[in-house]
Amino acid sequence: MEKFRNTVTRTGTRSVKWDLRESIFQNKDVLPMWVADMDFPSTDAVKDAIVERAQHNIYGYTITDQPVKGAIQQWVKKRHQWDIDEKWLLFSPGVVTSLHMAVQALSNENDHILIQTPVYPPFYGAVEKHGRKIVKNSLQLKDGRYEIDFEDFEQKVTDDQVTLFILCSPHNPLGRVWTEDELHKMADLCLKHNVTIISDEIHGDLTYPEHTHIPMASFSDEIREQVITCMAPSKTFNLAGLQASYLIVPNEKKRKSIEKQFSSQGLGMLNTFGIVAMEAAYLHGEEWLDQLIQVLDENKKYVQEKIHEHTDQIKVLDAEGTYLLWLDCRQMGLSSSELKQFFVSNAKVGLNDGLSFGREGDGFMRMNIACPNEIVVEGVNRIIQALNG
């Protein structure tokens, strides 16, 4: 567990999180707890595999062959109890890229696409940048936990122009791990109205005790034909900069359409080191991940308890998954711009502005707790001192 306790200096490594503080927040003294990567070193298995590959010193065109696909199959089976066929796999530099490709391949201009807001900002771009129109099923905050308005959901998917539904599971930024019943209801409604589902499950490995991620496509043969699942080792093992992810597309027609879209954009091959890292992480990273989740759970509880103990102006929603906490700051009585200014100038903590996730995020902030405890403690103390100052 010691590897998760030590603070590693990331400044000067071209880190988006640390080296862009001044340009993002106009304050180089801000403690960055925003963009979704971790301040933990990945599992040693990844480093060892990359070093071994680098020593070969030839970095030509590299294939994603059966051993890589087998590592993915083994991981998905063991962690999520889902048997997948290797022929269902397509590879992509990242899940956001996959969203753009799938939207273009499986819908037409002016089609309506359903998303559940507030949600990860690239969902909006994946729809609007290609001439499609967003339809919102706003999630409802009830007693400190977000729920799906199924009456509204059914009304929206009944609209003949809704051709796609982009699901975030587990949900970023809300931290919800959807239950089997919730997932089934959404899948059944989409199936009934012939709405294809693109399921972003990049945070699926990161769930807290008593919560289990279930791939929506794992329910039945009929449902899996309707679902495109996007997964990656990037959030799980802190590999985002290596750009390696994959789609699981059981339906052959949909798979060929997406594959054609990738080809039309010149996207046909992954980074050599991304392939090596993915295979190593999935084959040898399980113990590291189990330790990580324990550390994240401790960090989450610390933030919840300390904030609750010292102020009633901020409520920390209980994340069921992800390493991102959703902070309800509405009791502070500040506008969105004033709230951002408070955290940057007064608390000197860099968080994500809730409004960037949609208008439903106004008055909220997102905090990344995937960092050594001393950074979490420092961040929380800065916030409390600023509130009491």
Decide if 156 is inside a domain.
yes
Q: How far apart are CA 301 and CA 294, in angstroms?
A: 11
Q: How far apart are CA 154 and CA 44, in angstroms?
A: 46
Q: How far apart are CA 157 and CA 112, in angstroms?
A: 9
User: In the chain, how many domains are there?
Assistant: 2
Q: How far apart are CA 175 and CA 171, in angstroms?
A: 5
pLDDT in tens, 278-298: 999 999 999 999 999 999 999
Decide if 48 is inside a domain.
no
Do 200 and 296 share a domain, yes or no? no
Do 247 and 356 share a domain, yes or no? no
Do 129 and 66 share a domain, yes or no? yes
Average pLDDT, the chain: 97
Decide if 355 is inside a domain.
yes
Q: Across-strand partners of 321?
A: 207
Do 116 and 145 share a domain, yes or no? yes
Decide if 51 is inside a domain.
no
Element (H, E) at 54: helix 44-56
User: In sequence order, what DSSP letters do the residues of 127-196 get, joined into one string?
Assistant: HHTTT-EEEE---EEETTEEE--HHHHHHHHHSTTEEEEEEESS-TTT-----HHHHHHHHHHHHHTT-E
Decide if 53 is inside a domain.
no
| CATH number of 361's domain | 3.90.1150.10
pLDDT in tens, 131-158: 999 999 999 999 999 999 999 999 999 9
Strands (E), the chain: 31-32, 89-92, 112-115, 133-136, 140-142, 145-147, 162-168, 196-200, 227-231, 245-248, 315-316, 324-328, 349-350, 352-353, 364-368
Q: How far apart are CA 99 and CA 123, in angstroms?
A: 8
Question: Can you tell me whether residue 321 is helix, strand or coil?
Answer: strand
Q: How far apart are CA 22 and CA 29, in angstroms?
A: 8
| CATH number of 145's domain | 3.40.640.10
Can you read off the two tokens belonging to residue 44?
């040693």
pLDDT, position 334: 97
Predicted TM-score of the model (pTM) = 0.97
Do 107 and 78 share a domain, yes or no? yes
Has residue 8 got a pLDDT over 80? yes
Do 253 and 303 share a domain, yes or no? no
Q: How far apart are CA 83 and CA 77, in angstroms?
A: 5
Has residue 346 got a pLDDT over 80? yes
Do 148 and 14 share a domain, yes or no? no
160 confidence band (pLDDT: 50, 70, 90): confident
Do 155 and 180 share a domain, yes or no? yes
pLDDT, position 159: 81
Contact, 84 vs 76, CB < 8 A?
A: yes
Boundary (domain end) residue, out of 267, 284, 301: 284
Q: How far apart are CA 218 and CA 180, in angstroms?
A: 11
pLDDT, position 1: 73
Among residues 55, 72, 91, 97, the alpha carbon closest in space to that of 278 is found at: 72
Report the share of the chain in percent with pLDDT over 90: 97
Among residues 14, 64, 72, 39, the alpha carbon closest in space to that of 295 is found at: 39
Q: How far apart are CA 90 and CA 232, in angstroms?
A: 12
Do 375 and 233 share a domain, yes or no? no
Do 260 and 278 share a domain, yes or no? yes
Boundary (domain end) residue, out of 226, 252, 284: 284
pLDDT, position 122: 98
Decide if 20 is inside a domain.
yes
Do 130 and 167 share a domain, yes or no? yes
Element (H, E) at 296: helix 286-310
pLDDT, position 389: 77
Domain region containing 210? 58-284
Boundary (domain end) residue, out of 261, 284, 307: 284
Decide if 314 is inside a domain.
yes
Give the long-range contacts of residues 104-108, CB within 8 A, separation 24 or more: 104/130, 104/261, 105/254, 105/257, 105/258, 105/260, 105/261, 106/163, 106/164, 106/196, 106/198, 106/228, 106/254, 106/257, 106/258, 107/132, 107/163, 107/164, 108/163
252 confidence band (pLDDT: 50, 70, 90): very high
Do 85 and 155 share a domain, yes or no? yes
Decide if 271 is inside a domain.
yes
